[in-house]
Structure 1
Amino acid sequence: MIEATEKQLGLLWHTLGLCPERSDRRSISRNHFLTSSGYDDSNNLDVLVSAGLMTCGKAPAFCSQDEVVYRATDEGKQFALGKLPPAPPPLKRTRFDEYLDECECYDGFAHFLGINMPLYQQRGEWQDREYRMVRSPRGSVYRQFRRHYSFTQWSPYETREVTGEWAPTMREAKASYKEALRRRLAEERAEKKRYAA
């Protein structure tokens, strides 16, 4: 019966493109291992050659001529596959994994999750520019999912759920929006308490 050390088995798996820790790399995807003679890997691979699990040959012309290519034999392939431990359970899929499967259909992760993202608006000329952050209600024609900085497409007549104050910088506009959002959430909580009583 053929036996191999853990190091030798790891080299055989690597030669064949196998990875016991990953469920997606449990089939043979290649068959070569390039190394120079005299190294620890080479010595371990020579043991596998003497056991009939691998062969060694000349390196391709584009490689250094002192290197050697090791390849697994059919017996070596069967041995490597037979020594693989049971496949690990598949990783739990997250919402972000689901988004990556369908990301072409959405303008971003927030759109996929259904989050109503705020947008910046601006007014004024180059030296007198002011900014504010607003959030339109769901279903509004002014609601846009992508958080872009194309400020010119907004209407003074649009309905808004939350509106920050105009400010000279985007940072101040964001702070004003956060304060307006905090007040709105506090009002909603107070209204729910009033209905519950």
Structure 2
Amino acid sequence: MRCPICTQDHDKVVDSRTAQDGNIVRRRRKCLACGHKFTTYEAVERDPFYVIKKDQRRELYQRDKLLGGILTACKKRPVPMKSIELLVHTIEMDIRSGFQGEVPSWKIGELVINGLKQLDDVAYVRFASVYRQFKDAEEFIAELRKLKAEQHSKTRHPKRELSQKAKKSSKKEILPLFSDS
């Protein structure tokens, strides 16, 4: 690895540890030429996948585009950046585990909606209004009523919901955090 100060490629690894739940290796290095210490990160390079748009065009998946849409929905909301990053990571893992190199754009949208619904109601409605192309206030009101009914149902039957989750989690396969089931 080239030193960022003297550009020599003679260094030694002083410390190495995993970061981000074992997905990244963080290494502290020391340049043998000038003595400067610097940090490098190593991660698995993922195979790219394509998003199939409504008009059947295929576009290379762009993480920044997904993150930008979620950030816009969460703007000025009390949603921690760590939760947003986790949502993006979870969506990517769902896509990689459920699709072979291509995913329809509507599926990504549904994964985002399901994730935002669990994070923040306002961010969820903001995203849903753009994604589902609400035409008027009545569509907002209908979505809010639906959301409120779902929340009311969950608070009335928490034991039933927990027992259903327990049955699902007893399966040997790992279920994604934000599934649309």
Q: Which has more helix, going by share of residues?
A: 2
- Give yes or no for TM over 0.5: no
> What is the TM-score when the length of structure 1 is the normalising length?
0.22
Structure with bigger RCO (C-alpha 8 Å, 6+ apart): 2
Q: Which has more strand, going by share of residues?
A: 2
> What is the TM-score when the length of structure 2 is the normalising length?
0.23
